Amino acid sequence: MSRLFLIVITTVLLAAASQPASAQSTGRDIVKKMHDRYAGKWYRSFTFNQTTEVYRNDSVQRTQTWYEFIRFPERFRMDFGPADSGNVAIYRRDSCYRYRNFQLRSTTINNNEGLIFLLGGMYFYPLDQVYTIFDSLHYDLAKVHEDTWKGRSVYIVGAGKGEEGVNQLYIDKENLYPVRMLKVDRQGKLDALFEDWKAMGGGWLETKCSFYLNGKLLQTETYHDYKTNVSLDDRIFDPANLVRSH
């Protein structure tokens, strides 16, 4: 083997080993990959009802049917129980309006943990704005690594390998939908699982969600009668004049 060949091989290996981190994949790259695949294709709206089970100490405390209406990128309504109960939450942009018996009880900051955005809304914003919203949700898009989750390959956006105690999002590597969300704050660690995805209306729809706080199961949600690209009257999302949704 010639000295020249050895020099060339050594130079190539050293160059590869010394490539800066910016030349490797980041969370921004994965977000762009998601956006490139689904922007302009994802369904604009969907409706469903869900069986909601609320847990305490690993036992079901309450089971209820909720009726839900979403129009991306930022309108979301939940009716808790029968339509004539008037127990409703409406999410619009950064605010949440809560009603009991058709009476407004509170107006708070949107505390949906960005789920409307992460589960479809992100495909209705320009990519630069998507990055800004991810930053506002406190995901570090400089970080990403690959792993497996429930037997499937995933990207983990927001964390380095083995890093805990930070917000991170597990993205199915093949289909590019989120399967797990970890959010960490003063209350502890929220662990949300998104499962049983169905191909729907140019995108995907999660049909089962489970939520844990500090390792304890809080709530499961199982979707039924789901429909995409349905026409939704804007009045059902109007907090100034609450009307029946169904």
Q: pLDDT digits over 167-182, tens only?
A: 999 999 999 999 999 9
Alpha helices, H only, 58-211: 115-118, 127-136
- pLDDT band at residue 245 under the 50/70/90 scheme: confident
What is the reported pLDDT for 47? Answer: 97
The amino acid at 59: S
Q: pLDDT-derived band of residue 85, with 50, 70 and 90 as boundaries?
A: confident
Digit-coded pLDDT (tens) for 91-121:
998 899 999 999 999 999 877 789 999 999 9
CA–CA distance, 167 with 185 (Å, rounded to integer): 9
pLDDT at 11 over 80: no
pLDDT digits (tens, 9 = 90+) for 185-230: 888 999 999 999 999 999 999 999 999 999 999 999 999 999 999 9
Average pLDDT score, the chain: 89
Q: Is 36 helix (H, G, I), strand (E, B) or coil?
A: helix
Give the whole-number percent of the chain exceeding pLDDT 70.
Answer: 91
pLDDT of residue 52: 97
Tell me the pLDDT band of 18, cut-offs 50, 70 and 90. Answer: very low
- Cα–Cα distance, 113 to 120 (Å, whole number): 14
Mean pLDDT of 43-64: 94
* Cis geometry, peptide bond prior to residue 178 (ω within 30 degrees of 0): no
Gap between the Cα atoms of 204 and 91, Å rounded: 22
